[in-house]
């Protein structure tokens, strides 16, 4: 499966997969609609890492 997204658009995901209304439902959103700043990133890939910006 190939997926394409325009530059400047964001694919957003909620934290409750079964009940979140996110980009899986409505697609990518333009960056102009994003408000706020990132304060941390949590990523799990063979271990649990937390990075604060």
How far apart are alpha carbons 10 and 12 in whole angstroms?
A: 6
Tell whether 37 is covered by a domain: yes
The domain containing residue 38 runs over which residues?
A: 9-52
Number of domains in the chain: 1
How far apart are alpha carbons 12 and 31 in whole angstroms?
A: 11
Tell whether 2 is covered by a domain: no
Tell whether 44 is covered by a domain: yes
How far apart are alpha carbons 35 and 9 in whole angstroms?
A: 13
For residue 22, what pLDDT is reported? Answer: 87
Residue 52 has pLDDT above 70, yes or no: no
Tell whether 13 is covered by a domain: yes
Read off the pLDDT band of 39 (50, 70, 90): confident
**Global pTM exceeds 0.75:** no
Read off the pLDDT band of 32 (50, 70, 90): very high
Structure tokens at 23: 């980009």
Structure tokens at 29: 């959103």
């Amino acid at each position: 499966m190939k997926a394409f997204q325009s530059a400047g658009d964001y694919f957003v995901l909620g934290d409750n997969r079964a009940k979140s209304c996110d980009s899986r439902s409505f697609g990518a959103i333009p960056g102009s609609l994003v408000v706020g700043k990132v304060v941390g990133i949590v990523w799990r890939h063979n271990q649990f890492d937390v990075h604060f910006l």
